[in-house]
Amino acid sequence: MNKIILYSKQRCPLCEEISSLVELFSGEYQIVVQEIDIEQNDELMRKYLFEVPVLEVNGDELDYRSITYTAIEERLH
């Protein structure tokens, strides 16, 4: 089973776009997706405030600059 964590925040169009991108894989791969709102956690706000969306795929972290369909697919089993 593949685990994907999406670190995002409210009113973030790019975060919504990445969420839709992740959904494309649900038909091909067994995935569990967890979306975490960084605005609900002070530590995550400090860490990711200017970096969201951040995607963690099976332990590998991708920041918004490196999230692509191919980058996600390479990390899925």
pLDDT tens digits, residue range 42-60? 999 999 999 999 999 999 9
pLDDT per residue over 16-49, tens digit each?
999 999 999 999 999 999 999 999 999 999 999 9
Look up the pTM and report it.
0.93
Residue from 35, 33, 39 nearest 9 by CA: 39
Q: Where are the alpha helices (DSSP H) in the chain?
A: 13-23, 42-48, 69-75
Rounded Cα distance, 64 and 50, in Å? 10
In the chain, pLDDT over 90 holds for what percent of residues? 99
pLDDT category at 14 given cuts 50, 70, 90 is: very high
Specify the pLDDT at position 53: 97
Rounded Cα distance, 27 and 53, in Å? 22
Q: Assess contact for 58 and 1: CB atoms under 8 A.
A: no
